[in-house]
């Protein structure tokens, strides 16, 4: 089946179409954390260059940074900054000729009010334009009891679904203390202290799928949780078991769960490819693109060290304005981020797969 959408920010049914195209096509979209116009534009530039669709996501602290660190009301800054960043994407995404999903990253229990405030902005955006400001938000209550986690997700989704928004949730592990976790060499893939259990995925599906669209980040050994890196093996086959359980119990189509890969930085490429075959449509990327950005700035400073000390060289009167112009080193940073994202699009099989109408 071939799909086609108008380029720009996609929400509601269009977002579901994008997701379906990815799952059917066996590829995933990188979800890249951005903190300002440089990183947002670099993500869209990389997507355009690779003729691929992409997800731009903001953490609460990125929203605050976007608004400006000096603002005294940090909560308000997190909200307004996220809205401002989203508006930037709305204004520009279409110009890049690809589909862009707008999302917010991990929000734990204290950040529920941040998500709710953003949903309120999407509600007024929906009233004015017929679509929400953001495509989706994430609620990460994986550190809480599963019943609380899922009932809060249900409450939020009941408010978001009517305006065409999707919710990403996270199911944790039943353990939590590093000490009690141990190594999976002794314990195995059915250890609920290390891996999300398929029964929990089924519980989420039964509660949330009648309400609206949700996606699911499950722990299958990805390192961004409660355990020590290196202690746990990546076991994407856990995702397969979860898909099969939901499919069999609820008589759905194959791979009903829309899965998200968190903490993918530095993962074995073969494990990434394997995860894609089990219905992963989104992989978060932050650490590696941050480093790409920083490394380019560092290299630039090392190349022109005196331009970062003197406006005019005291020894030979060389003017350094051309070198210390922030656009020079920020552009190097953008280009370096684009290069790192080339690799991400390649790993996720999404090069050339944009469904935006040309």
Query: Of 23 and 262, which has the nearer Cβ to Zn ion?
Result: 262
| Closest residue by beta carbon to Zn ion | 262
Span near Zn ion by CB under 5 A; candidates 166-174, 234-242, 308-316, 340-348? 166-174
31: closest CA among 59, 7, 67? 59
Query: Of 14 and 140, which has the nearer Cβ to Zn ion?
Result: 140
Contact 267, 28 (CB under 8 A): no
Would you put residue 27 in left (φ > 0), alpha (ψ -120 to 50) or beta? Answer: beta
Span near Zn ion by CB under 5 A; candidates 29-37, 145-153, 211-219, 242-250? 211-219
> Binding residues for Zn ion, how many (CB under 5 A)?
3
Contact 347, 47 (CB under 8 A): no
Active site residue 105: yes
CB atoms within 10 A of CB 1: 6
Cα separations in angstroms, 96 against 7, 85, 116, 169, 330: 8, 16, 30, 29, 20
User: Of 23, 103, 125, 262, which lies in the binding site for Zn ion, with binding defined by CB under 5 A?
Assistant: 262
The footprint of Zn ion on residues 213-232 (CB under 5 A) is 217
- Closest distance of CB 168 from Zn ion, Å: 9
CA 1 – CA 141 distance, rounded (Å): 36
- Asked whether position 353 contacts Zn ion by CB under 5 A, the answer is no
Query: Of 141 and 157, which has the nearer Cβ to Zn ion?
Result: 141
Query: Of 77 and 139, which has the nearer Cβ to Zn ion?
Result: 139
* Cα dihedral: 314, 318, 322, 323 (round 10): -60
What 3-state DSSP class applies to 243?
helix
- Closest distance of CB 87 from Zn ion, Å: 26
- The contact pattern for Zn ion, residues 27-66, with x = CB under 5 A and - = no contact, is ----------------------------------------
Query: Of 78 and 262, which has the nearer Cβ to Zn ion?
Result: 262
**Which is the catalytic residue, given 14, 53, 73, 105?**
105
Query: Of 125 and 262, which has the nearer Cβ to Zn ion?
Result: 262
* Cα dihedral: 218, 226, 337, 329 (round 10): 160
The footprint of Zn ion on residues 118-137 (CB under 5 A) is none
* Cα dihedral: 227, 136, 57, 254 (round 10): 60
- Closest distance of CB 208 from Zn ion, Å: 17
Cα separations in angstroms, 71 against 33, 58, 76, 112, 335: 22, 18, 9, 21, 30
- Asked whether position 282 contacts Zn ion by CB under 5 A, the answer is no
- Asked whether position 103 contacts Zn ion by CB under 5 A, the answer is no
Catalytic positions, written as ranges: 105
Which residue ranges make up the site for Zn ion (CB under 5 A)? 170, 217, 262
């Amino acid at each position: 089946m071939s799909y086609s959408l108008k380029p720009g920010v996609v929400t509601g049914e269009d977002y579901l179409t994008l997701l379906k195209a990815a799952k059917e096509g066996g590829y995933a979209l990188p979800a890249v954390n951005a903190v300002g116009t440089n990183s947002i534009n670099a993500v869209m530039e990389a997507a355009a260059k690779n003729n691929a669709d992409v997800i731009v996501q903001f953490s609460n602290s990125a929203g605050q940074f976007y608004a400006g660190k000096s603002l005294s009301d940090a909560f308000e800054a997190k909200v307004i900054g996220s809205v401002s960043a989203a508006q930037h994407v709305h204004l520009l995404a279409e110009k890049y000729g690809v589909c862009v999903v707008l999302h917010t990253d991990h929000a734990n229990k204290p950040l529920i009010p941040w998500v709710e405030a953003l949903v309120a902005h999407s509600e007024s955006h929906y009233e004015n334009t017929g679509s929400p400001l953001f495509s989706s938000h994430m609620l990460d209550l994986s550190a809480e009891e599963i019943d609380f986690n899922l009932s809060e997700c249900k409450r939020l989704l009941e408010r978001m679904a009517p305006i065409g928004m999707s919710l990403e949730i996270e199911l944790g592990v039943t353990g939590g203390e590093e000490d009690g976790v141990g190594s999976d060499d002794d314990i195995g893939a059915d250890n609920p202290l290390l891996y999300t259990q398929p029964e929990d995925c089924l519980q989420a599906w039964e509660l949330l799928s009648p309400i609206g669209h949700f996606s699911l980040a499950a722990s299958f050994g990805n390192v961004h949780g409660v355990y020590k890196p290196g202690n746990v093996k990546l076991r994407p086959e856990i995702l397969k078991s979860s898909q099969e359980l939901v499919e069999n119990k609820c008589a759905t189509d194959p791979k009903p769960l829309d899965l998200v890969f968190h903490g993918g930085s530095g993962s074995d490429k073969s494990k990434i490819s394997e995860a894609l075959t089990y219905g992963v449509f989104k992989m978060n990327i932050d650490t590696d693109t941050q480093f790409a950005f920083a490394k380019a700035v560092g290299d630039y400073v090392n190349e022109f060290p005196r331009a970062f000390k003197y406006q005019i060289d005291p020894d030979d009167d060389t003017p350094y304005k051309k070198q210390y112009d922030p656009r020079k080193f920020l552009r190097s940073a953008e280009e370096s981020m684009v290069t790192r994202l080339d690799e991400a699009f390649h790993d996720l099989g999404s090069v050339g797969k944009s469904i935006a109408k040309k």
